[in-house]
Amino acid sequence: MQVKDAILSRHTVKAYEAGQTLPQEQVDTLLTWLHNSPSSVNSQPWHFVVASTPEGRDTIAQAATGTFAYNHPKIVDASHVIALCMRTDLDEAHLRAVLAQEEADGRFRAEGAREGQDKSRRSYVDLHRYVQRDMPQWMEKQVYLALGGLLLGAAMLGIDATPMEGFDGAALDQALKLRERGLTGVVLVALGRRSEKDFNAGLPKSRLPRETVFTHI
């Protein structure tokens, strides 16, 4: 599928066909794309929990009750659900791990490149921690960069998807034991095959006019 076709054809699925499992090859491809998502100064402040079993989906669905019960069927009926999480802090251990991985992957070919990369990344961390004081928001932005790529990738593969912010964050963190690992949930994405009950599939896209959205200078 061409990128243009994927962008124009994708939509947020409102109902899934229970029991329909995505081919593992497609899932692996999608996770490879997600793994290679871009982030500011390659900070990679994320972790992705992939639920591919009924038990895993039921665990995530614990966060979709009460006010958010409308999302419960999407979670349990989907083939896969991914909880996109962020770190609660970019601590020293994480910064060292990222730098070590970059070195192992051969990114430092010029003299001083390793030290330069480390200094640059730490300067951004310090900027957001001490000056702008928006570390959580900054890290969350990186997770949403990954979300955008994930949704486009799913559309390219012909996989139906639903991004969801409608869940109890504290309940998700507890169900997945995220806080014990220095993580917190940001957004969920259900993946699978839509059912005939997906009313959104037959509706046209609606966007504000281009002249309202774009300014050309």
Domain edges within the chain: 3-89+136-212
Give the Cα separation of 173 and 188 in Å (integer). Answer: 12
Give the Cα separation of 158 and 180 in Å (integer). Answer: 36
The one catalytic residue in 14, 17, 103, 141 is: 14
* 14 is annotated as an active-site residue: yes
State the pLDDT confidence band at 1, using cuts at 50, 70 and 90: confident
Tokens of 70: 């409308």
Give the Cα separation of 84 and 143 in Å (integer). Answer: 7
Q: Tell me: the pLDDT tens digits for 79-118? A: 999 999 999 999 999 999 999 999 999 999 999 999 999 9
Give the Cα separation of 94 and 42 in Å (integer). Answer: 12
For residue 198, pLDDT over 90 is answered with: yes
In this prediction the pTM is 0.96
- β pairing state of 80-87 and 46-51: antiparallel
pLDDT at 78 (0 to 100)? 98
* 165 is annotated as an active-site residue: yes
The one catalytic residue in 4, 25, 55, 74 is: 74
* 177 is annotated as an active-site residue: no
For residue 47, pLDDT over 80 is answered with: yes
For domain 3-89+136-212, is the CATH number 3.30.920.30?
A: no
Give the Cα separation of 72 and 201 in Å (integer). Answer: 19
The one catalytic residue in 115, 119, 165, 197 is: 165
Average pLDDT over residues 31-54: 98
